[in-house]
Amino acid sequence: MSIKTVEDLKQMYRKGIKRKVLILLSLFFSIIVVALISISLGAGSPRLKEAVEVILSKVFPSLNIGSVSETVRVIVWDLRLPRVLLAVVAGAGLAASGATMQGVLRNPLVSSYILGVSAAAGFGAALATVFKIGIIVGYGKYLIITNAFVFSMLSMLMVYGIARLRGITAETIILAGVAVGYLFSALLSLIQYVAPQHEAVRAIVFWLMGGLHVATWESIIIVSPIVLLTIILMVQQAWNINVTCTGEDVAISLGVNPKRVLVLTMVLESLATASIIAFTGVIGFVCLISPHISRMLIGTDNRFLIPCSALMGGLLLLCSDTVGRLILMPAEVPVGIITALLGVPFFLYILLSRKRRIWQ
């Protein structure tokens, strides 16, 4: 039982930080490698080298690499790349939101859908699909996207309003979120029940399963900046989240207003989640397990946990979508199904191979 000297502990701490940065870097490079492999798999199967060439020639037009056929060009640049990017961005946004909410609400069962966002988005999308009713004017798929987004934000505001009446604490937010979620899923069921057209009901069910087949450059350009910005702001709040984790009274005594942290993270989380699922539909599970896997890998410090969850979520969703695309080719399996089928064994493996308890 040797008492550690200041130098010992300092060194240990620096080493720990280095290890964490290394984990983040290796996750980042894994994403790039898997993304390139994913682009080169599937119908028309461009070779890895061709995929890299197309991307390079598009990003740096001055480089003259022009030996690739037009078909491959379209497959790589217009079909695969947006899809791969959307998988990474969506996975990252959902998982970072999940990690943040688990932290501030001090609850390992919380996901980014805790504020009823998914049911509300589903309800909004169903309104648009069945009755062509929208809050903001739009047509076709834009109506669905704007509706899903608006209703997600509405559910967040409702949770905030209800929690405010009772005092904003982790408990009131969780309970209000569950209640609002049930309310919107009841309304969603009602629409499905009364919907006159069978195709519409089918379309709703399909939307609810979530998928990345909708990926276009347009969706990337809208979603990526929002997700990137919200993740940066979440990481910026990392210390406040760390402190809020230890309980509300202690947070105040450490100079942090837990109510303000809760409201701020709620807004960030809802913005990220709503803008993602408005395009992709409800993609579950990534936002629940990525934070847990990351916590086991990198520890509880949110400065590293949130970026690690984001990278882990991006990687998981990318892998799942790639498998879903290929496994029953030419048909596609919705990514939500694959995420659970792949994610559960992976999660259980990590859970069981660790001796430590994940939470108390």
Partner 1 sequence: MKLVINNVTFSYKSTPALKGVCFELNKGEILGLVGPNGSGKSTLLKCIDGILKPHCGAVFVDDKSISNMSLKEISKLMGYVPQNVSSTSFPFTVFDMVLAGRKPYIGWSVKDEDVSVVTNILNYMGIGHLATRYFSELSGGEQQKVIIARALAQLPQILLLDEPTSNLDIRHQLEVLQMLHHLCKEMGLSVVAAMHDLNLASRFSDKIIMLKDGCIFAAGAPEEVITVENIMAVYGVKAHVSLTGNGRPQVIPIEPIDVKSLQEIPYKISYALGK
Q: Which residues lie near partner 1 (CB under 8 A)? A: 1-6, 9-10, 12-13, 102-103, 106-108, 236, 238-239, 242-243, 245-247, 249-250, 252-257, 295, 299-301, 303, 356-360
Q: Which is nearer to partner 1, 173 or 214 (CB)?
A: 173
Which positions ≥6 away from 5 have C-beta within 8 Å? none
CB 153, CB 124: distance < 8 Å: no
Nearer to partner 1 (CB atom), residue 214 or residue 264: 264
Within 8 A by CB and 6+ apart from 115, the residues are 155, 156, 159, 173, 177, 180, 181, 266, 269, 270
- Of 9 and 327, nearer to partner 1 (C-beta) is 9
Quote the least distance from Cβ 47 to partner 1, whole Å.
Answer: 44
What span, in angstroms and rounded, lies between the C-alpha atoms of 87 and 70?
A: 25
Short-list 197, 220, 210, 193, CA closest to 125: 210
∠ CA(232), CA(226), CA(266), 5° rounding? 70
285 or 304, CB closer to partner 1? 304
Q: What is the DSSP letter of 115?
A: T
Min dist. Cβ of residue 339 to partner 1 (A): 23
Which single residue is written with the structure tokens 């276009």? Answer: 216
Cis peptide before 196 (omega within 30 of 0): no
CB of 2 to partner 1, least distance (A): 7
CB of 250 vs partner 1, minimal distance in Å: 6
- C-beta closer to partner 1: residue 83 or 292: 292
DSSP secondary structure code for residue 323 in this structure: H
From the CB of 230, what's the least distance to partner 1, in Å? 17
Closest approach, Cβ 235 to partner 1, in A, equals 9
Closer Cβ to partner 1, 127 or 241, answer by number: 241
